[in-house]
Structure 1
């Protein structure tokens, strides 16, 4: 009985965590938004302890912060944090891509190609277009596919957490603001082609340029102060 109850509790925490994570990275809760445990618990129909555990986990993963005498809130944003985040993300994401290219087999290539195919299809305005919720999910899946062949679960998890934090910034520019003025489809296609061609230097440079362009646009158009 105890184990069953514990499993149900863990499941509730996981579900609550995932819902809050998605709400944060999608912009439903913008940076700095207070996250009141009582209100969240009532809306989700769960206990306060489930909400607190979820928020603590989100704090550990860099999406939420706890402010003394104020409680939990979505992480604030700044130019300095974005530049630091971008540097670390480029460093880690290119590393896992390089390891995937060097170590992974045909199954990985197939996963990358399939993820890119879906992303490219959803980039068409007739299918929702760049910045739509469906596109954002496919975009995350594509970047995830690039690194999953690296052979290191810890590296994969680090990259995913950094990507979540980056998504908070991308959402600030609106549905497609961070992609405006760019041929984002061509950028993704180039990364895919170089990755499956096993061109480590070319693929990692294309990925680094792709990530840096988004950062530069946000710095120049959104976080201008």
Structure 2
């Protein structure tokens, strides 16, 4: 049993490290992920690396192709559009259900997550978003839908959020005006959700996601 736990712990370590490298752009889209090289780098067995990569495949950050093996997923306009449409659909559904089902504890969780987000330094010295802010932003949006009562919905939504973060990291830092608009919308989302204004909160969340998609399309694929 101890050996099993040790193997699981090592797989988690490799998974987390590779996920960071993919999301940060250290590992570029399409880059091959070779079992032997990764096993040597992390000083683990190839079976541990395979387990970590398989989990990343499940979260759509790594692809596995016959005769090509594992690689970082490629980016495409079609994929980004699909991510955006599914995010609007699922995040909107999770928010609507949370507003209807969530109790005072959920309301407090949303307010607390937004407080952390609002007081977390947003940019590093080089102008890129801090890891802490990226995590706080994801946790705030996770909190919005956390009372939906559907573990599968939340799991799908978190996978989409990871894929969206992948594109956002590639695109770089939003211009100041857009960043301020996003920050203002996050505050308004918190206020509308905790006030249980379902229609207004849903419309703003849809606009929030669409704004990000439009910015990503422009900066990654040259679309206005």
2:75 is matched with: 77
State whether structure 2 residue 177 is matched by structure 1 residue 181: yes
* SS of residue matched to 2:140: helix
State whether structure 2 residue 170 is matched by structure 1 residue 162: no
**Deviation digits for residues 84-119 of structure 1 (CA, Å, limit 9, x no counterpart):** 111011100111111111101111111111111111
Structure 2: gaps of 5 or more residues: none
TM-score normalised by L of structure 2: 0.91
Partner Cα distance (1:127, 1:145) in 2: 29
1:63 is matched with: 61
Structure 1's consecutive aligned runs of 4 or more residues displaced over 4 angstroms after TM superposition are 123-130
Partner Cα distance (2:126, 2:200) in 1: 30
* SS of residue matched to 1:143: helix
Structure 1: gaps of 5 or more residues: none
* SS of residue matched to 2:144: helix
2:16 is matched with: 18
Q: How does 1:66-215 map to 2 (within 5 A)?
A: 66-122=64-120, 131-174=129-172, 176-177=173-174, 180-182=176-178, 183-215=181-213
Partner Cα distance (1:27, 1:76) in 2: 12
Q: How many residues align?
A: 221
* TM superposition shift of 1:31: 1.5
* TM superposition shift of 1:57: 1.8
| Structural RMSD (CA) | 2.0
